Structure 1
Amino acid sequence: MTNIKKVSELAGVSTATVSRTLKSPDLVTAQTREKVMEAVKRAGYRPNWLASSVKSGKSNSIVVLVPNLVNPFFMRIIEGIEQAAQENGYSVLLGDTQGRAERENEYASMVLTNRADGLIQLDHSFPFSAADAELAAAVPMVSVCERIEGEKKFPVIELDNYAAGRALTHHLISYGHQRFGIIAGQIASQIHHDRLAGIRSVMQEEGLEFDEKMLVGGSYQIETGIQGVQDLLKLPARPTAIICFNDDIAIGALHEIKRQGLRVPQDISLTGFDNIRVSPYMDPPLTTVDQPANDMGRRAVEVLLQLIKRQPLKRSREILPFHLLERGSSGPVPR
């Protein structure tokens, strides 16, 4: 097996620097880290993390709770988590919870029993059981995208969903739209409240009435988009634009709009959220909000490792930037 000396020779640094890079990468420069990691790949070096974990009492693994592994947006976040974890010598244990509390409790308990060093939560629920709640207060845990309900002590990496909701609404109003349908995701989540508040605020500023009947949905699935369009088109005055709270919903909505003999955007403009990989290749390409999902995942690991090492955080809430991507699914209000 290739040893650490070979890695140091390839990287042109000392064995101590190689060791420091692998164990505490935040203590070396980005240039040194890049050289060492490239040398590790070239040399085929496999650090003995098991031996170091026995000495330190750490498992060198983290648990990531995912409400739905099929969701392509979550996979982009996990990609960033995996990259950052591997660079820092950590393994990632994925828990596909399907939004079920008992599954969350089971996976979360791995941190309490030292089978994992920390936890990343991608849903809005508190993942520990009531019996473990007191112990969980000291657990290194970070939430991504969602804020954990009723919990302010755990760091969160998120998007400015309020501003993104405003941006989408301004975009559609600029095309003359005044009747908006909204197909939402999980109504109990903070994301829902923030995006909806952003939409409402712009409509109020523009003197437009928000029709509660135009708010439908309740999950982040393609089928939600199909049902949502069916519900919206039954209304006496159909919307001229539909805002979907993720791209999966928008894909279902696009399918149903076409099935009913209508055109996008000539009859109904449509927007999504997330910028999943297929959104530019839809017919028409989907106007959506791009979230820096990979960066979210990487940053979540960096913050979690600070908690694991008991290092102080500069802030408990980090808001990452978004980009509104205008494509062919949105256009002028029909005359």
Structure 2
Amino acid sequence: MTNIKKVSELAGVSTATVSRTLKSPERVSEQTRAKVMQAVKQAGYRPNWMATSVKTGKSNAIVVLVPNLVNPFFMRIIEGIEQAAQEKGYCVLLGDTQGLQAREHEYASMVLTNRADGLIQLDHSFPFSDNDADLAATIPMVSVCERIEGDRKYPFIELDNHAAGRALAHHLIGFGHKHFGIIAGQRRSQIHHDRLTGIMSVLQGEGIDFKEDMLVGSSYSIETGIEGARELLSRNPRPSAIFCFNDDIAIGAMFEIKSQGLKIPDDISVTGFDNVKVSAYMDPPLTTIDQPAYEMGRNAVEVLVQQINRLPLARSRVIMPFHLLERGSTGPLKI
């Protein structure tokens, strides 16, 4: 069996440095970490994490709660989480909650029973039950994309969704559009509020009234896009542009628009959000907001491991950059 001494020889460092890299990678330089991890891979070394957990009281596992595992945007975040976790010696336990409170409570309890060292939440809900809320106060936890609702303060990794909403609104208004529809996702979440207020602030500045019947939908699904587009297309006047709060919604909306014999963007412009891979291959390609999902996942692990190791956080909010990708699903208003 390959041992730690062989790894140290291949990396050109001491066995103590190898051990430190595997247990607390944040305590060594990036260059040393890269050398050691390359040597680990070359030697085929497998650390005995079970023995380590007995000595340290850590499981070397983290729980990731995902509201919908088939969502391609979440999968990109998980890819970043998995890569960063492996580099730091952690395994990842995925909990596909389907937005069900009981499932969240069950997976979250793994941290309370020492089966995991920390938790990453990809939804906006507080994942612990009322009975466990006090115990959970000191649990290492970070949220990605969403902010955990309520007064509890946990670090989070997010986009500037307000600014992204404004960018989409400016984009469509620049094409001359004045009649809009919005197909939303989860309306209780912070990202819904931020995206909506971003759009509304631009409309207000342009003297365009926001009316409640402009807003439909309440989940991030293709079906929501189909139903939402059908509802908006029945309005008089019909919107000339539709904001969709994720790409799945936009895919459904585009399907329904075409089913009614309308052309995109000649009759109606459509925007998405997330830049899932298929969005670039739609007909026409979807104008959307690109979120750095992989990097968001990596950042979440960095912050979580700092919490696990009781290290002070430089900041509790990490704001990631976005890019507006202008593609063929949006165009000038036809008069």
Q: Same fold by TM-score, threshold 0.5 exceeded?
A: yes
Q: The residue matched to 1:182 in structure 2 has which SS? A: strand
How far off its partner does 1:152 sit? Answer: 4.0
Residues 157-210 of structure 1, C-alpha deviations (whole Å, 9 max, x = no match): 111000000000001111111111100000111110000000000001111111
1:106 matched to 2:128? The reply is no
Give the 5 Å matches for 1:142-221. 142-221=142-221
How far off its partner does 1:219 sit? Answer: 0.2
Q: The residue matched to 1:36 in structure 2 has which SS? A: helix
How far off its partner does 1:316 sit? Answer: 1.1
1:242 matched to 2:277? The reply is no
Residue 231 (structure 2) aligns with? 231
Amino acid at match of 2:324: L
How far off its partner does 1:314 sit? Answer: 1.2
Amino acid at match of 1:98: Q
Structure 2 gaps, min length 5: none
Give the 5 Å matches for 1:35-46. 35-46=35-46
Aligned counterparts of 2:54 and 2:187: Cα–Cα separation in 1: 44
Aligned counterparts of 2:152 and 2:299: Cα–Cα separation in 1: 18
Residue 292 (structure 1) aligns with? 292
1:333 matched to 2:333? The reply is yes
Residue 259 (structure 2) aligns with? 259
1:49 matched to 2:49? The reply is yes
Aligned counterparts of 2:117 and 2:226: Cα–Cα separation in 1: 41
Aligned counterparts of 2:101 and 2:44: Cα–Cα separation in 1: 41
TM-score (normalised: structure 2): 0.98
Residues 274-296 of structure 1, C-alpha deviations (whole Å, 9 max, x = no match): 00111111111111000011111
Q: The residue matched to 1:199 in structure 2 has which SS? A: helix
How far off its partner does 1:251 sit? Answer: 0.6
How far off its partner does 1:268 sit? Answer: 0.5
Q: The residue matched to 1:22 in structure 2 has which SS? A: helix
Residue 123 (structure 1) aligns with? 123
How far off its partner does 1:16 sit? Answer: 2.0
How far off its partner does 1:13 sit? Answer: 2.2
Residues 202-249 of structure 1, C-alpha deviations (whole Å, 9 max, x = no match): 001111111211110100000000001100011011111111000000
Q: Percent identity?
A: 76
1:268 matched to 2:268? The reply is yes
Quickly say closer, same or farther: Cα 1:151–1:143, change in 2 above 3 A. farther
Quickly say closer, same or farther: Cα 1:26–1:111, change in 2 above 3 A. same
Aligned counterparts of 2:213 and 2:267: Cα–Cα separation in 1: 20
How far off its partner does 1:117 sit? Answer: 0.6
How far off its partner does 1:11 sit? Answer: 1.9
Higher deviation after alignment, 285-294 or 25-34: 25-34
Aligned counterparts of 1:247 and 1:147: Cα–Cα separation in 2: 20
Aligned counterparts of 1:62 and 1:233: Cα–Cα separation in 2: 45
Superposition RMSD on alpha carbons, in Å? 0.9
Q: The residue matched to 2:134 in structure 1 has which SS? A: helix
Number of equivalences: 335
1:12 matched to 2:15? The reply is no
Residues 27-48 of structure 1, C-alpha deviations (whole Å, 9 max, x = no match): 1221221121112111111111
Residue 59 (structure 1) aligns with? 59
Amino acid at match of 1:319: I
Residues 70-104 of structure 1, C-alpha deviations (whole Å, 9 max, x = no match): 11111111111111111111111111111111111
TM-score (normalised: structure 1): 0.98
Residues 115-158 of structure 1, C-alpha deviations (whole Å, 9 max, x = no match): 11111111111111111111111111111111111134211111
